[in-house]
Amino acid sequence: MFFISICVLLCACTHKEQDSLKQGIRMGTARITGEIVNYSDFTSTVYDSTSTVYISESWDSTLFINNVHYPITGGMKTFEARLQKDGTFSFEIPLECSIGTGIVFDDYFVALNLTPDEEVYLRINLSNGQMKIETIEPSSKFSSDSEKMLPEIDFLISEGKSRRIIPINKPLGERTLNDYTWLIVECLNNLKKQIDSIPDLSRESRKFLFNYIKMIDLSIFMDYKITTSGYGKDSIPPKLDISYYQFLKDYDLNNSDCLYIINYLNVLQRILSNEIFAIPPIEDTPVKEWLGGVKKTMADLVDFDKGMFYDLLASNAYSRQFNNEARPLSKKQIENIKTYWKDGDIAKILLQKNGEIEKLAGANAHLNIHETETQPDGQPMETYSEKDKNLPKGKLIDSIVAKYRGKVVMVDFWATWCGPCLMAMQEMRPLKKELIEKGVVFVYITNRSFPKPEWREKITGIGGEQYYLGRDGEWESISYSKKYGFDYIPTYLIFDAEGNLKHKLTSYPGNEAMKKIISETLSGSK
């Protein structure tokens, strides 16, 4: 499911260009109906090496639409539906614009375009392990390119580093920020050439590939340390200033094509959190006034001073308050939104989201912070080396869980750069509030794979018992242990009131499944 989720994240499709690309932001619900014939159930129940710990439940006959993204409210969601006995299925997906996504089931996926207030119908025939799309309405050239595109997407992503690292014919000490900016623009040109050389793809598919991969590259270029790390590890690159970001004008950030691309959200969030840009939180500042300050910084860099890009920056400034702090809008903020966007879709979307946040009051009220720092002269509780023959025993997680003896504990391993982790946290907020009232303790554990200020910002809206593992080997003492080990995040450990591990899950199973798992653990702990 992890691999399939990545595949779906990379797939999208478009209707007729004149219909999809000109719609922009529009609130509505897409409906997907269809039928699968010659379908046989499958089971993906997995156990650890001792065959005693439950990892993931069977997803027989379950279909998923993964990573539906929301450019106004800045989040992602996953939807699921059961395949009925007659082979039919249906989804209803709330949207903020037309997006690219796909249906996933077993080892199959179908790329789709979803448009607000429109319906997609699918008839899929499975025979001898092969999938054939017999009907898709409205028809889409992009869907027929899905099998061709997946290996190309995989190749373009895997080749990303070599595409981004283009030699500079200067000693490191003589290089300037303009040299790196030139390289970034050259990378964009090389990407275009790579995609143009792919045979037998429709124009829509080429356009999507270009927009998708360029946004992945751009989100990396926004991090100056990563960009310059490949050009001389032993020397210091030129000091960063705002002139470095002049490459933004080449990325066409005001193009409505960007709305289809999930990575565009990442770029917007990086702009809002960039220390060089120093864009302030919107708080109670009128939108027009706030954007006036933003344009003084951004207009020359992006080469325009009005349009969709600025609307999305402003709406995402409010969404950062929703998502990072779970804080509802103030009366002044509501007034500002209505004044600037009047009764438009952006205002409707933000106010609807605000209603949802108001209902979740209390889900993040409790916050305890636990940090450990790297101590050069000290020893962490456990260390791990690849040379060690014996894996760590997970004593660190034992000591953490022991603090909450007498309570059912859910441990969530996550990171600020992990989109699925953050998406699951948002999805779980309503359930979390309910479980907190029943006495469940939520423990969140992360490591120093990202700047600590990012962690501090995120945990305000998450709440719970927050652990930042800063010492060498502390994260590995858990992730490499035989008892608690895991390869991917998010991973969840569910402990009963006696501190016994009852369930281990990698990837979020959805609120319904998680509620069942924790409720059963609560019942067994009484």
Dist CA 364 CA 360 (whole Å): 8
Q: What is the pLDDT of residue 285?
A: 98
Amino acid (one-letter) located at 430: P
Phi, psi of 105 (to 5 degrees): -155, 135
Q: What is the pLDDT of residue 59?
A: 42
Higher pLDDT, 420 or 499: 499
Q: What tokens does 121 get?
A: 């119908």
SS3 27: strand
- Contacting residues for 38 by C-beta, under 8 A, at least 6 apart: 125, 126, 127
Percent above pLDDT 90 for the chain: 37
Dist CA 514 CA 262 (whole Å): 26
Q: Provide the β-strand partners of residue 93.
A: 30
| Torsion angle defined by CA atoms of residues 413, 358, 353 and 289, in that order, rounded to the nearest 10 degrees | -110
Q: How confident is the model at residue 4 (pLDDT cuts 50, 70, 90)?
A: very low
pTM for the predicted model, two decimal places: 0.76
DSSP assignment of 20-58 equals: HTTT-EEEEEEEEEEEEES-------EE-TTS-SEEE--
What would the pLDDT profile of 416-447 be if each residue is shown by its tens digit? 888 788 888 888 888 998 899 899 999 999 98
Looking at the predicted structure, is the pLDDT value of residue 378 above 70?
A: no
Q: What is the pLDDT of residue 394?
A: 78
Dist CA 229 CA 226 (whole Å): 5
Amino acid (one-letter) located at 402: A
Cβ atoms of 116 and 29 within 8 Å: the answer is yes
Dist CA 406 CA 439 (whole Å): 10
Q: How many CB atoms lie within 10 A of CB 162?
A: 10
CA dihedral sign of residues 179, 180, 185, 191 = positive
Q: What is the pLDDT of residue 392?
A: 66
Q: What is the pLDDT of residue 88?
A: 93
> How do strand 491-495 and strand 501-506 relate by DSSP bridges?
antiparallel
> How do strand 367-372 and strand 464-469 relate by DSSP bridges?
parallel
Cβ atoms of 27 and 345 within 8 Å: the answer is yes
How far is residue 370 from each of residues 375, 456, 468, measured CA to CA in Å?
16, 11, 6
Q: What is the pLDDT of residue 131?
A: 81
Closest CA to 247 of 215, 218, 227: 218
Q: Which whole number is the average pLDDT over 240-254?
A: 95
Q: Which whole number is the average pLDDT over 1-24?
A: 41
| Neighbour order of strands in the sheet with 99-105 | 75-82, 62-70, 99-105, 108-114
SS percent in the chain: helix, strand, coil, step 5: 45, 20, 35
Q: Which whole number is the average pLDDT over 487-494?
A: 93
210-213 contact pairs (CB < 8 A, 24+): 211/257, 211/258, 211/260, 211/261, 212/10, 212/12, 212/153, 212/261, 212/263, 213/153, 213/156, 213/157, 213/160
Amino acid (one-letter) located at 206: R
Higher pLDDT, 104 or 298: 298
- Contacting residues for 157 by C-beta, under 8 A, at least 6 apart: 10, 213, 216
Cβ atoms of 81 and 63 within 8 Å: the answer is yes
Q: What is the mean pLDDT of the chain?
A: 82
SS3 516: helix
> How do strand 119-127 and strand 25-37 relate by DSSP bridges?
parallel
DSSP assignment of 355-407 equals: HHHHHTTTTT--EEEEEE---TTS--S----TT-SSPP--HHHHHHHHTTTTS
> How do strand 88-97 and strand 491-495 relate by DSSP bridges?
unpaired
Dist CA 258 CA 271 (whole Å): 15
Element spanning 80, H or E: strand 75-82
Phi, psi of 417 (to 5 degrees): -85, 0
Element spanning 459, H or E: helix 452-462
Cβ atoms of 462 and 366 within 8 Å: the answer is no
